[in-house]
Copies of this chain bind each other. A is one copy, B any other.
Amino acid sequence: MSLGATLAAGRTDIQTVLDDLLAPFDGAVGDAMRHATQGGKRLRGVLALECAALSGAPRDGALRLAAAIEAVHAYSLIHDDLPCMDDDDLRRGRPTVHRQWDEATAVLAGDALQTAAFEWLADPATDPDGALRADLVLTLARAAGARGMVRGQALDIAAESAATPLTLERITELQRLKTGCLLEWPCRAGAMLGRAEPAPLVAYAGHLGLAFQIVDDLLDVEGSAATLGKAVGKDAGAGKATFVSILGVAGARARAADLIAAARTALSPFGGRAAGLDALACYVLDRDR
């Protein structure tokens, strides 16, 4: 199978596992949970699969890690899109959950997707070793909680009403929390599932996550809503400091390229076996959505 076919097969398998795991949830909340976990780039899930495979972990367990991180990502998007947060109508080219249903359903569907992620990790089907399952829960909770992603979201909201724009250092820290933690976790978890040392994959993920966010800022300026499936120009419109507003378009693009080069270097211990992760790094730099 070609590299592209392998990554595409990963995305398909993740959707199949998510559909299976979400099937028991009924009513509007269940429908909204499924709606929010359809489509998307599946970057976090594919990172889990690739890092698990590279670490020698079984595919079945890896797919549960992928489903869990995609569920947490979907929960964060549902709540982030709410009128009291970013107030977005469009996500992945479709109506956001509170537009398709209502705000109460969006709050509950996000809540339940977070719960489901921890349920799936803690289940013996993920791995026979209970201590490992508990560690997967612990590391994901640290990455997603009020010292991780939620802290990044809170800093982001605070930045909008701040008197002075953020410095590059503060934006880097904010984005490391808001986006980086949930891109790092699948790499760490994949290594844990294969009983491998997580450090090189965590280093890779650190560079990748920051590059990912810089490219996000570039796409907000240069991308089209049709391709991205969400609104563009929101940050510039809000006068918000971003990597692009501080570094300029050319500077931001150069910084992203440097980070992707560093991410690829972090893969050197694995040689050709890391071709999938290497391709993902290149994709993050060149993506148009």
Contact = CB atoms under 8 A, between A and B. Distances in A.
Interface of A: 24-30, 33, 75, 79, 82, 84-85, 102-105, 107-108, 110-112, 114-116, 118-119, 121-124, 129-135, 137-138, 141-142, 144-147, 150-151, 153-155, 157-158
Contact of A134 (B28, B122, B147): B122
A271 B202 CA distance: 54
B154 A141 contact: no
Contacts of A111: 75, 79, 110-111, 114, 150
A118 B141 contact: yes
Contact of A108 (B25, B108, B129, B150): B150
A133 B154 CA distance: 30
Contacts of A134: 122, 124, 130-131, 133-134, 137
State the 3 A-B residue pairs at the shortest beta-carbon distance, nearest first: A130-B131, A84-B103, A119-B141
Given A112-B145, A145-B119, A146-B25, A157 B79 contact: no
Contacts of A118: 118, 137, 141
Given A28-B158, A111-B150, 10 more contacts: A25-B146, A26-B151, A27-B151, A84-B104, A104-B157, A111-B111, A121-B137, A122-B122, A130-B130, A130-B132
A84 B107 contact: yes
Nearest to A112: B146
Q: How many copies does the complex hold?
A: 2
Contacts of A107: 79, 82, 84-85, 107
A75 to B, nearest CB: 8
A82 B144 CA distance: 22
13 contacts: A25-B146, A25-B147, A27-B155, A82-B103, A84-B102, A112-B146, A115-B144, A116-B146, A119-B145, A122-B134, A129-B131, A130-B132, A137-B137
Nearest to A110: B111
B146 A33 contact: yes
B154 A108 contact: yes
A130 B121 CA distance: 13
B157 A112 contact: no
A118 B133 CA distance: 12
A135 to B, nearest CB: 7
B151 A29 contact: yes
